[in-house]
Amino acid sequence: MAENLEKQLANVLERHRNNNDIEQLIWGYKVCAKTEGKTTGTLGIYITALKRFINFLKVNKYCQDVTEINTQVIREYVLYLQQTKTFVQHPFTKPQNKTLAGH
């Protein structure tokens, strides 16, 4: 069964090898992480963080091709996170007056 899963994963990765779109790469990561036994909770945390980054790219009209994401874009995203109040867009917790930790 594991051998069949590895073949399926290899086929998926081959189809997406030259695709640098961040959403496609995240999909590929999810497939790999599942085969490595990552828990649903762990995957949820990672995927939520990545979706937040994708949203930042879209709102600010940045290209989603990972080869175009440079240090400047990452620094702007970190600055955005540092200036964002905690729990903004959280489904159960009200936003707080403090910002995210800068470490």
The predicted-structure confidence for 47-71, as pLDDT tens digits, reads as follows 888 888 989 999 999 988 888 889 9
Q: What pTM was computed for the model? A: 0.65
pLDDT of the residue at 57? 92
For 60, 64, 66, the CA distances from 54, given in Å and listed in that order, are: 10, 7, 11
